[in-house]
Structure 1
Amino acid sequence: MSHATDIKTLARWMCSDFSNQEQAFENPPFYAHIRVCIRPLPLSNFPEPSLFLEQAYDYALNQPYRIRVLKLNIVEERIELENYKLKDKETFLGASREPEKLKKLTPNDIELMQGCDMFVDWTGTSFKGMVKPGRNCRIVRNGKETYLDNSFEINDHQLISLDRGYDPITNELVWGSVAGAFHFKPRQSFANEVEF
C-alpha cells in the first residue's frame, strides 16, 4: 500500500512506455494513437528524483511533440512535480527509448517552466496530479498563448491524462481533447530502472 509521499511508487508506476491503442482504435475520430514514454534519469546526473518524458504519435515515435523533465519533490506532506523543458530538444529526441542518449542529459540542459508545477495527491488507490491553480502555466501553440489545464491519474495498471489549453482572456478551449481524457496502458515497464 502506498501513501501521500511515496515518491518511489509514483515513479515506478510512471516509468513505462504507455499506449492508448485500445481507445484510439475504438474511437478514431476523437483519439489519435499516442505513446507516452517515461524513464528515470540517472542519479549520477540528477541527484533529485527526476523523470524524462516524451509524448509522440505512434507513427512518429522519433518526433515527439512533448519532451519534459519532471522533478519529484515532497512539499508539506504531498508530492509536487516540477516541469522542465529542454533548452535544445533536438539533441535528445528519442532519448526515452535510447538510454545511452539519456545519460548525456544534465541539469544544464533543462529550464524550469514557470507556473507549471503540479500537486500530486494520493487517493488511496492511485496518485492524482493537477497543475497548480492560477492559470500561470502558459503554453504557446500555433502562435497563440494559452494557459494549460493538465491533470493525470495513475495506478499500477493505467495512466489517465487530460491536457487542454485555454485562451487566457476568453477562457475558451483552444487545443486539447474535446472527447475527454486519454486512457493509457503500459506496454513495457521501466520500474526496475528507478534507483531512488
Structure 2
Amino acid sequence: MTISFNNHGTNTNTSDLIVLTQWMAGDCSNQKQAFVNPTQYAHIHIFSRLLPFEFSSGIGFYSCLIPRNGCQTHFVSELQLTENTWSSLSKGMDIETHEQVYCSTAEPLFFEKKQSFADEISVSNVGETLC
C-alpha cells in the first residue's frame, strides 16, 4: 500500500490518514542493523504514541527518539513506512551545535516495530478530527 500526501490543497482520504497514523504508532528499533555494523549505524529506538485529541486538536504524537550511543540528537528524516517497519535516510544532529553526529550514508536506517499501538487508533479518535 502506498499513501501519498501533498500540500496542494487536495483532500487526503481519511482512511489513508488513519492507516498512516496506525503505522506510525509503535515502539521501533534498528537494533539488528546497528549490531551487524556498529561503525556505520547508531542504535536508535523510536517510540511514537497518539496524543489525545484534546491535547492537540488534531492528529498528534508523543514521539521519543533515543540514540543508544549516548548522544543527544534530533532527527532530520526522509521516511518510508510500512505497517511493521520504518526506513529512513536520516541525519542525527547534535541538539546544541546542530552539527551532524551520524547519518545513514551507506543505506537507509531500518527500524523494525517491536510493539504496535495501532489498536489505540480508530475513526472515532482520529477520523473525526479530519472532517
Shared topology, TM-score over 0.5? yes
Number of residue pairs aligned between Structure 1 and Structure 2: 106
Letter in 1 for 2:22: R
After superposition, what is the alpha-carbon deviation per residue over 1:18-74, rounded to whole angstroms, capped at 9, x for unaligned?
0001101111111111101111111121221111211112476xx86348xxxxxxx
Whether the aligned pair in 2 keeps the contact of 1:18 and 1:184 (CA below 8 Å) is yes
1:1-196 aligned within 5 A? 3-4=3-4, 5=12, 6-58=16-68, 65-66=73-74, 150-164=77-91, 175=100, 176-177=102-103, 178-194=105-121, 195-196=125-126
Higher relative contact order (CA 8 A, sep 6+): 2
Q: Which structure shows the bigger proportion of residues in helix conformation?
A: 2
Q: Quick one: distance in 1 between partners of 2:23 and 2:114?
A: 12
Structure 1 vs Structure 2 CA RMSD: 2.7
- How has the CA–CA distance of structure 1 residues 185 and 157 changed in structure 2, closer, same or farther, with 3 Å as cutoff? same
Q: Quick one: distance in 1 between partners of 2:53 and 2:2?
A: 23
Structure 2 regions of 5+ residues with no counterpart? Answer: 5-11, 93-98, 127-131
Q: Which structure shows the bigger proportion of residues in strand conformation?
A: 1
Q: Quick one: distance in 2 between partners of 1:64 and 1:15?
A: 22
Identity of aligned residues (%): 30
After superposition, what is the alpha-carbon deviation per residue over 1:73-114, rounded to whole angstroms, capped at 9, x for unaligned?
xxxxxxxxxxxxxxxxxxxxxxxxxxxxxxxxxxxxxxxxxx
